[in-house]
Amino acid sequence: MDYRPGNNSHKVFYLMGFTNLGEHRRLLFIPFFLLLLYTMTANAIVTFVIATQRKLYEPMYVLIGSLTLLCFLFPTLFVPRMVIMFLSGRNEITKEECLLQMFLVHMGGCFQSSILLQMAVDRFFAICWPLSYHTIVNLRNSIIFTALLAFRNTLTIVVKVGLFIPLTFCHTDVMYHCLCEHTSVVTLACGNVARNYIAGVVAFSLTTSDCVLISATYAIIFIVIFRSPSGESRQKAIHTCSTHLIVISVAYFSVVCAFVGYRVNNIPPDVRVMLTLGYLLIPSTFNPVIYGIRTKEIKVNVVKLLKLNKVESEKT
């Protein structure tokens, strides 16, 4: 089946991911549509619970709420378009739409990494300097730290995506992908794209540096925890930190798999596409479950919310 129209305009790209499946490709709309519904519902519930429960208005829960809100929004940047593409067979995307999608997706990835770093810093001060925690982790310092990370992320992604604007595409306009991922788009360009690859490495180094800082922070935290004489407080700290570490491991393991997938030549194209979609969707899929199950305060309020809705539906 020919999924691509005859128009060979280089102002339009054609996303041809999973076309090796032939007629069965359109069936992919079912799992991705269900995944979109699940991620939006699960993350919306956790975000709503944190936003409406005043006793959860603490830095750690605010960060969890920010992460689940991001996980709610993130799939909407590309999954709805994928679902429509699979169902209708319309694979074209304009250069401008591709540029916007690339910017938003990579920006979302950077902010996810930044929130995980902020969580690690929050736990660091809460466990290592508990008496000074509220003095250090106050509203003013939190806003400054968040603003610095936001400026770093925005500047990096603006430069990374901005270097895409002057590129010309004189060979092909077909990408074997389901979204406008930076590496896939740059490989289609003709001329010197060295700056684009350097910008991509710099952007990747942001998440790498965040991962290194997070690892170092939790290493110090666990040293302090195991030196603590109190068994009860130690157990609570281990549980809290291990929950964050599970979320962090899921996020960065997905990124590493996708990064390696693009640099191993004998990986099938469909597997490479799935690895990219995995690192974008797996955190949004697992984060609300991890926090909903392992964080007692969130779990209790989620159960209350679901029971209340069940009672109200039975009354009506």
Q: Of 262, 302, 255, 241, nearest to 283 (Cα)?
A: 255
Domain range summary for the chain, segments of one domain joined by +: 12-315
Domain covering 12-315: architecture: Up-down Bundle (1.20)
Q: pLDDT for 241-288, tens place per residue?
A: 888 888 888 888 877 777 777 677 778 888 888 888 888 898 899 888
The neighbouring-strand residues paired with 94 are 12
Q: Which residues contact 302 (CB under 8 A, 6 or more apart)?
A: 45, 46, 49, 292
Q: pLDDT for 140-191, tens place per residue?
A: 999 999 999 999 999 999 999 888 888 888 767 888 889 988 888 888 888 7
The confidence score (pLDDT) of residue 63 equals: 92
Mean of the pLDDT values across residues 16-28? 89
Mean of the pLDDT values across residues 97-107? 91
Q: Is the pLDDT of residue 308 over 70?
A: no
Which pTM value belongs to this model? 0.87
pLDDT band at 213, cuts 50/70/90? very high
